[in-house]
Chain A
Amino acid sequence: MDDKLSFFKDGIRLDGRRPGELRPVKIEAGVLERADGSCYIEMGGNKVIAAVYGPREVHPRHLQKVTRAIVRYRYNMASFSVEERKRPGPDRRSHEVSKVSREALEPVILTHYFPRSVIDVFVEVLQADAGTRTAGINAASVALADAGVPMKSLVSSCAAGKVDGQIILDPMKDEDNFGEGDMPLAMTPDGEVTLLQADGRFTVEEMREAMETARKGCEQIYEIQKKALIDRYSRLEDPKEEGSGV
């Protein structure tokens, strides 16, 4: 291992984190004027914005369901979000991410309150640094709450990875690109998993450890999501604003 590059130096990762540590997370709810609900999130180097529209009328008509609302989720990466320019427009990867992210959120949305309607979720990745789908889900979940969509709970999401045979939380770009595995997970606060993907190789034992690690990350993110929503309200009530009239 001496002449080979290592992911750890004295048990500390290349970006200075410990194996079970998240990158800094910043969440702000209600950032867009035109959308019914919105959220901006930074998870380490990831910068993602989510906008929710609806419930609203379904176009094209044939997609509508008579008994419940449908959910559409569009994950899109800006052409400038990665080092090498990304060709704009939907591709195979973004289709997949959209599908799994939608399925990660659908179980918590109480769609039966809005038959024949659609809830549109748009997730735009402005800057990518490994783990954009998890950042997108976190933002979308806050944006849905902000839009007043009835839900059973929020959804929090976070990835675990494997580098140098060790399980780590929230891999950053280099750990994702050159590591041995990446496992995004999304779950509700009471521990129901709504998304679990993995690439790379995990033994059964590593799999358990990785899930447990990602779970802990999700729990931390949930608290930040919760705080973001409550802060939005107190921000509105901020006495500094009172000077504007009332």
Chain B
Amino acid sequence: MDRIDRRVVIPGELLAEDPKKAGEGTYVKDDKVYSQLYGLVNHRDKISVIPLAGKYVPSVGDTVIGIVGDITVSNWIVDINSPYEGLLHISEYPKRIERDEMAKYLRISSSIMVRVKDVDSTKKVELTLNDRRLGTLNTGRVVEISYTRVPRVIGKGGSMISMLKKELNCNMFVGQNGRIWVNGSDEDMDLVLKTILIIEKKAHTTGLTDRIMDFLRTEKEARS
């Protein structure tokens, strides 16, 4: 990763004099661009600020991992690691089911991989399970990290995640909301979880993929 211009800024810090450069995590006042977050500056064609902390806000099209928290007349209420709960309507289940049988298909505490179908201005979040790539997670484990670290777990062009999958023979899925599903042998999963927590802690440092690679090598040597 490039080390240049990854400066830490605080809210209210002046970033640029050109309002056209204002990207995410910034605001414009009197034709000047300021940061609205505590985070790292990213200069591309626009200037944006990558947050170091914060809560996940759902946006349409995100695939997230949710945990069923309650069942109402026709909705499952799903915790999606966000200030807002998700609603999964009975009609969004891949097959037609009766209302009184909802608990048979998705129990309270079931983990599911869902997509955000719609978010309105009051942040009412509608989810869907109606896609071949979505579904319930009956095996494996789910870990939770800050959603701000998701891009680092995936890596540039998926480099980090494909390395983890390959090195550890695990199946993985990273939800946009910071929940990660892992499936593999117990031993491999232990190491994946350990690695993920390291990535979360070191997310803002450079050359992370290479260092994680070294870490995995030494861990695996110690194991054999």
Q: Footprint of B on A, CB under 8 Å?
A: 36-37, 54-57, 66-67, 108, 110, 113-117, 145-154, 188-190, 225-226, 229-230, 233-234, 236-237, 245-246
B8→A230 contact, CB < 8 A = yes
A233→B202 contact, CB < 8 A = no
B204→A245 contact, CB < 8 A = no
Interchain CB contact (< 8 A) of A246 among B121, B122, B148, B202: B202
Interchain CB contact (< 8 A) of B54 among A115, A148, A154, A237: A148
A-B contact sample (15 more), CB < 8 A, given A152-B12, A189-B12, A246-B198 = A36-B55, A37-B53, A54-B83, A56-B83, A66-B122, A114-B55, A116-B123, A117-B123, A145-B11, A145-B37, A148-B148, A149-B54, A150-B37, A226-B10, A229-B38
13 contacts between A and B (CB under 8 A): A36-B55, A55-B55, A145-B11, A147-B54, A148-B38, A148-B53, A150-B36, A152-B36, A229-B38, A230-B8, A234-B8, A237-B205, A246-B208
By a CB distance below 8 angstroms, the chain B residues around A153 are 11-12, 34
Interchain CB contact (< 8 A) of A150 among B11, B202, B204, B214: B11
By a CB distance below 8 angstroms, the chain B residues around A57 are 83-85
**Does B51 belong to the interface (CB within 8 Å)?**
yes
By a CB distance below 8 angstroms, the chain A residues around B156 are none
Q: Footprint of A on B, CB under 8 Å?
A: 8, 10-12, 25, 27, 29, 34, 36-39, 51-55, 57, 83-85, 121-123, 148, 198, 201-202, 204-205, 208, 211-212, 214-215
For the complex, what is the distance from the CA of A234 to the CA of B204, rounded to whole Å? Answer: 10
Interchain CB contact (< 8 A) of B27 among A152, A229, A234: A152
Dominant secondary structure at the B interface: loop
8 smallest beta-carbon distances between A and B, as pairs: A153-B12, A148-B54, A148-B53, A151-B11, A145-B38, A117-B83, A150-B36, A55-B83
> A227: nearest residue on chain B (CB-CB)?
B10
> B12: nearest residue on chain A (CB-CB)?
A153
By a CB distance below 8 angstroms, the chain A residues around B208 are 246
A114→B57 contact, CB < 8 A = yes
For the complex, what is the distance from the CA of A117 to the CA of B123, rounded to whole Å? Answer: 10
For the complex, what is the distance from the CA of A146 to the CA of B204, rounded to whole Å? Answer: 15
B198→A245 contact, CB < 8 A = yes
By a CB distance below 8 angstroms, the chain A residues around B148 are 148
